[in-house]
Chain A
């Protein structure tokens, strides 16, 4: 069946099986391989994408459920010219090693800071506790998100629009 939704600001029209997950659809039908699958049972958070601005596990959502919605993946939060402030903070704080959980961390942190640009370390840890990372021990990740808050302040209204 055909499903139509916006992905990273572009219209997508994809023929999928009803059982195809949004994650598989993004990765295999749309070539957006930045979204990673590490558990496929909703625990690890690596596949987190934004659906209408909300952080969602794309392994637990069917592609057909995205009909008419707006999906943003890590590719949609990136550009060629420069790293975003959040990405640059991750690099500066060595908040990634193997990079596999990183797209889910970026999307989750982006959703958090868009809503709560003043989130403190405890709040950041609480929200990120739904995303597993096996390399870093999370210390650098939390430091990076704390630092990136500045870039989100004052943009809340824009992001929500």
Chain B
């Protein structure tokens, strides 16, 4: 006899546990952790994009009131560098970032000194007393200057090029030679990034007696970060406790190992006290990872009937001043997923990673995917138009058919990295999207002029790869009172994983969800191994580990009950937190728990899941101002299995609006001296409540993933992937009469206006 396999909670819109504290202002983010005696750190950062430190003297600063210590490279000794966490490769090594600038600075915002004082205000005051002279060097302001190599940023490297990734499949050159139709275009996506609402923050405490470090504010990947810090600071990882607090958003940026992740723990040990550093917004804009700055010359080759034969392209990414932990992932992904959901036999895509004197880059939600989808979907739209083929028919004919699953994408060299779409029916989500959007009606608006605004529509298809990688552990505990606790290594950056894991555990054990007393995650003390939250993996990886732990816990409960009943374990029925024997005697789990039962589960999977779907948009453009309004936006995705439709829908809608920000508003603008011109939230425009009122999402679970026991697929990023392409295509549709073809994001009013003007002047 086996216990009832309920599916009571998975798939239900369970209201989130987390909300009860967040809504009352009782979340504990890192700056809210009570600590009576902590000191405060402020960081002196370079105001020069490229230069040599000639004078650095903190004598006067150390005399300032309240100052306990000033730490520079001199106090640290040999300066550790921050290793690459993802896709490490020997050619990248010269470009990694030191935790503090010793003699040379390479971007505005690079840390030079840390002041520790009794209050944050006094620490900031003392920054001004540090004598600093930087001899400016010529600035590598953009990719052209970087590629030219007249100024070399790293004495140990022969060029400013970190690596060139090659996406390869089939024989693109041959396909281009035999093609009926080819077209080449140049596209670009602007530098922008996550801007999670809570800036970064760290509190570290050094316990002199036991030699232990405790770090609050850990996020995303606490286990790997602990390992990095342990190596840098010379402390056994087992003596470092990384504690994950509530985190105000991540989106790929929060929780990577940054210089401050060394500097603040180092400062705590240096002064023998707790030290806290809370980033301010200007610091965040110049110090935390930027993303997405990629340009691409892309060619498409087709048969006359519209079948895509090949893509061939060359992209250049501006990586900023250093190769950070995951800095290569966006450009790498551009090379791999250029073909997206389409069946393209021949691909030759090179992506050069170039260093400049800007803030270093890292991943931002759907790294490389947002960029690649913009390039591809724009070019497909142009090709369909050139060939006189309906753009939907063009896409439908080229989508990977269900029968071709698992479907291999381009291999990335030199990593020799391969990946496959695991399952799915891409035409189904396209058709459903068109139906939800009411394409038949709305597409009649193409090019229509209504009160001076021109209307346009577009639809695009995408895939979202994710949810694989290192092992995740989970621990399930049957507490003495019969309640259950879940501990997982994967972390939360605000997605609602506490609720998700409770749903999965409650269903796996067949108990009411009220029995789940606590779900704890992300802190290194909880489980032996964990990794973290990236690549839309928390639910799939952590959830699968919870399933494994649940099966083991159930076996223990069953064995205990069987001993009580004097029957075989498989004669015990487990239901709703009660064990029932063959004679129908019932024992509550509380009576079986003793001092508590503990079961550890684990999950390891190197194969990615691929969610997929289609998005459609209806926009209007005012040619007089260049303003783009989004009247309707519809997303349809298949995520394999839906754990919580509410949190999934929240991920989708939130990601779409972020994508609309990237498509229309957000831009980290630099001048020729490497100074960020958009250094506040008044200059860096993010979507507000009045910008995009109509966003609709439909989630399907028609094609479960075969690569994990939940059948779930990573789904936190899909919403953002196609947005740039869809919006740009809708703008092109609206302005087709002028022949406007947007090739660069963001489609801000001045840029759209200039496109309209250029098209009109070109026709005269």
Contact = CB atoms under 8 A, between A and B. Distances in A.
A74 B121 CA distance: 25
Interface stretch (B2-10, B312-320, B653-661): B653-661
A96 B250 CA distance: 14
B690 A46 contact: no
A142 B248 contact: no
Nearest to B22: A99
Contact of A17 (B20, B121, B194): B121
Interface stretch (B78-86, B195-203, B428-436, B597-605): B195-203
Contact of A43 (B194, B650, B681, B687): B681
Interface in B167-216: 194-199
Interface in A59-114: 73-75, 78, 83, 87, 90-92, 94, 96-103, 106
B692 A137 contact: yes
B32 interface: yes
B235 interface: no
A39 to B, nearest CB: 4
A99 B248 contact: yes
A96 B31 contact: no
Contact of B681 (A44, A90, A98, A100): A44
A125 B247 CA distance: 26
Contact of B494 (A31, A34, A98, A138): A98
A138 to B, nearest CB: 4
Given A83-B20, A94-B16, 7 more contacts: A41-B681, A44-B197, A90-B23, A94-B649, A102-B23, A124-B689, A125-B690
Interface size class for chain A? 35 or more
Given A36-B248, A129-B689, A41 B682 contact: yes
Interface of B: 15-16, 18-29, 31-32, 34, 121, 194-199, 246-251, 280-281, 493-496, 646-647, 649-651, 653-658, 680-682, 686-693, 695
Nearest to B13: A94
A97 B653 contact: no
Contacts of A90: 19, 23
Nearest to A78: B24
Given A19-B121, A36-B248, A98 B493 contact: yes
B653 A139 contact: yes
Which secondary structure dominates where chain A touches chain B? loop
A134 B689 contact: no
A106 B25 CA distance: 10
Given A36-B198, A102-B23, A128 B689 contact: yes
B196 A134 contact: yes
26 contacts: A27-B31, A33-B32, A34-B27, A39-B681, A90-B23, A91-B15, A94-B650, A96-B23, A97-B249, A97-B650, A98-B246, A99-B246, A102-B25, A122-B690, A129-B689, A129-B690, A132-B688, A134-B195, A134-B197, A136-B653, A136-B654, A137-B653, A137-B655, A138-B688, A139-B653, A141-B689
Nearest to B494: A98
Interface string A131-160: 111111111111000000000000000000
Contacts of B18: 99
A28 to B, nearest CB: 9
Given A33-B32, A98-B247, A98-B249, A139 B695 contact: yes
Most chain B beta carbons < 10 A, residue from A19, A39, A41: A39
A97 B654 contact: yes
Interface string A9-27: 0000000010110000001
A137 B686 CA distance: 11
A38 B25 contact: no
Given A38-B281, A134-B197, A83 B650 contact: no
A35 interface: yes
A99 B687 contact: no
Nearest to B19: A91
A7 B12 CA distance: 40
A40 B281 contact: yes
Contacts of A138: 657, 687-689, 692
A30 interface: no
Contacts of A101: 197, 248
B23 A125 contact: no
A108 B57 CA distance: 46
A76 B31 CA distance: 20
B25 A33 contact: yes
Contacts of A75: 24-26
Contacts of A35: 25
Contacts of A46: 197
A1 to B, nearest CB: 15
Contacts of B250: 98
A54 to B, nearest CB: 19
Given A74-B24, A134-B196, A40 B280 contact: yes
A100 B198 contact: yes
A97 B199 CA distance: 16
A20 B646 CA distance: 40
Nearest to B492: A98
A114 to B, nearest CB: 18
Contacts of A92: 15
Contacts of A83: 20, 23-24
Contact of B196 (A43, A73, A98, A102): A98
Given A43-B681, A135-B650, A38 B248 contact: yes
Given A98-B249, A125-B689, A38 B653 contact: no
A103 B681 contact: no
A84 to B, nearest CB: 8
A47 to B, nearest CB: 11
A44 to B, nearest CB: 6
